[in-house]
Amino acid sequence: MADRIPRVVVVGGGFAGFYALRYLQKRLTPEQAELVLVNPTDYLLYSPLLPEVATGVIEARHIAVSLRRALPRVRLLLGHVNAVDIGGRSVSVTPVTAAGHAETWRESYDRLVLVPGSVTRQFDIPGVAEHARGLKTLVEAVYIRDHLLHLLDAADAEPDTDEGRARRREMLTVVAVGAGYTGTEFVAQTQRWLRTIESRWSRTGAEDVRWILVDLAEMVLPELGPELGRHALDLLRARGIDVRLGVTVTAADDRSVALTDGTVVATRTLVWGAGVAPSPLVAGLGLPTRRGRLVVDAEMAVPGVPDVWAAGDAAAVPDLAAALPAATPPDTPPTAQHGQRQGTALGRNIAASLGVGTARPYRHKDLGLVADLGGWDAVAKPLGVALTGPPAKVVTRAYHLYALPSMANRVRVAADWLFQSVLPPEGTQLGVVRPEDAQLAAAQGTGLYGVPPS
């Protein structure tokens, strides 16, 4: 037993898991640690560019960073961890197979890193699980794009009768919930994209599509502060988007969405971007949580549980750099920026537990967020400086190219942006995703744990 090479098992190959393993494979020799990653896909998904996949500006594969290529020293197991046996120091893995089901097995660990990220927050609203579509996976982004194009085709073919016009209106109405970056970028970019391809239909133009963006909060893009939030709100409204703040959904079915302002909107498209909840794996661990996220200390170790760490969207990591005079620091917000840096810091702390280097608490001052609103419109706050319009757009794209963790993906995304400016926009349906595969539970794998995301 003493001679066995310690096994580090990482659960989740997103930002935090990827950067932790990248650090570990660089710093530790194969004799110092065996590195194992459990993830349902063989890629890291660069989710900040998902809205651009939904509009066909960026090809889906170009924001998928190959884990096998970037992490050659890591044994990648394609599957989900659906339970952790803390006492027995093992995780239970359900593999992803072509047949869709297979035997679950146990993988033992000497060090465990829990970084399964988050899922779309659904709340307990009737009809949302069945009829809303998220924008957190490639499957969902590709589906939404096809779905919108399909509805434009179907609406264009409707007869000019009272019933036909009613159905047409229903098909050409899009309701998006959540005015954070997911909902706002989706609505802003998609509305802009449809304007660039509207001439393809004989009876239907982009102005026939009705966009409704609702949020219970009183602000758009709260992550970027009131000044840029106000700018984005004015811009959306000037473009004709019906932004309803202080409003949310009470029920949804396949033909309508009921809102708390008393209106019932006839629609076949409900896009759900109402925030995120930690992976349901966390709730099943029986360990302390804060606002659903797994409690960790400043070094991202789980208190009282030897050799287990957590970070990213799934963990409540104290934000030591937050400029608040609070006795207890707030938790770091769920962003890719924190996920990436926490991953590297985790790698360092795990290496230290194996005798290489020294552990340190996580401390990172936010570099600011960016939001692309389509065309030359964007808002960005790099290092606290508020930018709008073309300067913000340039910063937004430069930031994404810098943050994409693979040169090959960077070049492909940059080429997509270049082609977008010189070639006709993409607007064909692929038809590769079945509607049932794009439902929230299927696309985000939330049905695996028996704990609904709250």
Ligand X SMILES: Cc1cc2nc3c(=O)[nH]c(=O)nc-3n(C[C@H](O)[C@H](O)[C@H](O)COP(=O)(O)OP(=O)(O)OC[C@H]3O[C@@H](n4cnc5c(N)ncnc54)[C@H](O)[C@@H]3O)c2cc1C
Q: Which spans of this chain sit near ligand X (rule: CB under 6 A)?
A: 11-17, 38-40, 47-48, 50-51, 80-81, 115-117, 135-136, 181-182, 279, 281, 312-314, 334-337, 339, 369-370
Provide the minimum distance between the beta carbon of 399 and ligand X in the complex, in angstroms, as a whole number: 8
Kindly tell me which of 155 and 294 has the beta carbon lying closer to ligand X: 294
Kindly tell me which of 113 and 212 has the beta carbon lying closer to ligand X: 113
Kindly tell me which of 256 and 332 has the beta carbon lying closer to ligand X: 332
Query: ∠ at Cα 428 (423, 434), nearest 5°?
Result: 145
Provide the minimum distance between the beta carbon of 448 and ligand X in the complex, in angstroms, as a whole number: 7
Provide the minimum distance between the beta carbon of 181 and ligand X in the complex, in angstroms, as a whole number: 5
Identity of the residue numbered 169: R
Q: Half-sphere exposure of residue 167, counting CA atoms within 13 Å on the CB side? A: 14
Provide the minimum distance between the beta carbon of 11 and ligand X in the complex, in angstroms, as a whole number: 5
Paired strand residues for 256:
266
H-run or E-run covering 168:
helix 162-171
Kindly tell me which of 91 and 125 has the beta carbon lying closer to ligand X: 91
Paired strand residues for 175:
212, 270
Provide the minimum distance between the beta carbon of 318 and ligand X in the complex, in angstroms, as a whole number: 16
Kindly tell me which of 312 and 318 has the beta carbon lying closer to ligand X: 312
Neighbours of 58 (CB within 10 A): 24
Kindly tell me which of 233 and 276 has the beta carbon lying closer to ligand X: 276
CB 236 within 8 A of CB 184: yes
Kindly tell me which of 47 and 349 has the beta carbon lying closer to ligand X: 47
Query: For 54, left (φ over 0), alpha (ψ -120 to 50), or beta?
Result: alpha
CB 373 within 8 A of CB 396: no
Distance of alpha carbon 133 from alpha carbon 444, whole angstroms: 11
CB 211 within 8 A of CB 259: no
Kindly tell me which of 12 and 158 has the beta carbon lying closer to ligand X: 12
Residue 374 DSSP symbol = S
Provide the minimum distance between the beta carbon of 124 and ligand X in the complex, in angstroms, as a whole number: 21
Provide the minimum distance between the beta carbon of 297 and ligand X in the complex, in angstroms, as a whole number: 17
Tell me the residue number closest to ligand X, measured at CB: 14
Q: Of 226, 232, 247, 230, whose CA–CA distance to 176 is shortest?
A: 247
Provide the minimum distance between the beta carbon of 436 and ligand X in the complex, in angstroms, as a whole number: 19
Kindly tell me which of 204 and 337 has the beta carbon lying closer to ligand X: 337
Kindly tell me which of 173 and 453 has the beta carbon lying closer to ligand X: 453
Provide the minimum distance between the beta carbon of 279 and ligand X in the complex, in angstroms, as a whole number: 5
CB burial of 257-295 (b: ≥16 within 10 Å; e: otherwise) equals bbbeeeeebebbbbbbbbbbbbbbbbbebebebeebbbb
Provide the minimum distance between the beta carbon of 48 and ligand X in the complex, in angstroms, as a whole number: 3
Q: Of 324, 325, 321, whose CA–CA distance to 342 is shortest?
A: 321
**Integer CA distances (angstroms), 238 to 220, 234, 295, 321, in order:** 14, 6, 43, 37
Three-state DSSP at 38 gives: strand
CB 276 within 8 A of CB 334: yes
Provide the minimum distance between the beta carbon of 107 and ligand X in the complex, in angstroms, as a whole number: 11
Three-state DSSP at 441 gives: helix
Kindly tell me which of 136 and 410 has the beta carbon lying closer to ligand X: 136
Neighbours of 383 (CB within 10 A): 8
Q: Half-sphere exposure of residue 157, counting CA atoms within 13 Å on the CB side? A: 6
